[in-house]
Amino acid sequence: MGGTREARETAAGGRTRLVSGPGMLVVWLYGVMSVGAASRSVYEITAKFDQAPLAYSLSAVAALVYVFITYTLVRGGETARRAALVCCAAELAGVLVVGTWTLLEPSAFPDSTVWSEFGYGYVFIPVLLPLTGIWWLRRSRAA
């Protein structure tokens, strides 16, 4: 498997492929989180935005970040890799800030967000995924 990797990585028009090997699993998880967070925030914002505007806005931001990272991973290439790396770092910072915020000031959040309590409602995937993403993106740096 290791021998064919280099050949596959540059197969798509010279761009570094980011969805080969472990990248396939990473992009699947980002895809799931994108669909989950996006559909959740569309529903929450259209149906009951007044109940917890802060929480629902933060969920929408999370959804945008996930969709963008999924897109850059699928697109591939060095620019996309750098953009995804920046977004993974922003995502990690977001999870940590929102996670701490929800613990320190629960009254500001009548309803939970995707990143509440470091992603407890999503089996902590929100806090683990950016770490996995950063690991994968650093590993697939263009040689």
Partner 1 sequence: MLDALTVAVCVAALALAAWCGFAAYRDQPTKDWHFIGMAVVTLLVLAQLIVGIVQLARGEKAEEGTTIFVAYLLGALCAVPVAGFMSLAERSRWGSATVAAGAVVLAVLEVRLHDIWTVG
Binding site for partner 1 (CB under 8 A): 1, 19-25, 27-29, 31-32, 35-36, 39, 43, 47, 123
Minimum Å distance from CB 105 to partner 1? 27
Minimum Å distance from CB 43 to partner 1? 7
* CA distance linking residue 55 with residue 53, whole number of Å: 6
In the complex with partner 1, the residue whose CB is nearer, 29 or 89, is: 29
In the complex with partner 1, the residue whose CB is nearer, 28 or 82, is: 28
In the complex with partner 1, the residue whose CB is nearer, 39 or 51, is: 39
* CA distance linking residue 66 with residue 70, whole number of Å: 6
In the complex with partner 1, the residue whose CB is nearer, 4 or 107, is: 4
Minimum Å distance from CB 87 to partner 1? 21
User: What burial letters (b/e) apply to 23-43, b meaning 16+ CB within 10 Å?
Assistant: beebbebbbebbebbbebbee
Q: Cβ neighbours of residue 96 under 8 Å, at least 6 residues apart?
A: 118, 127
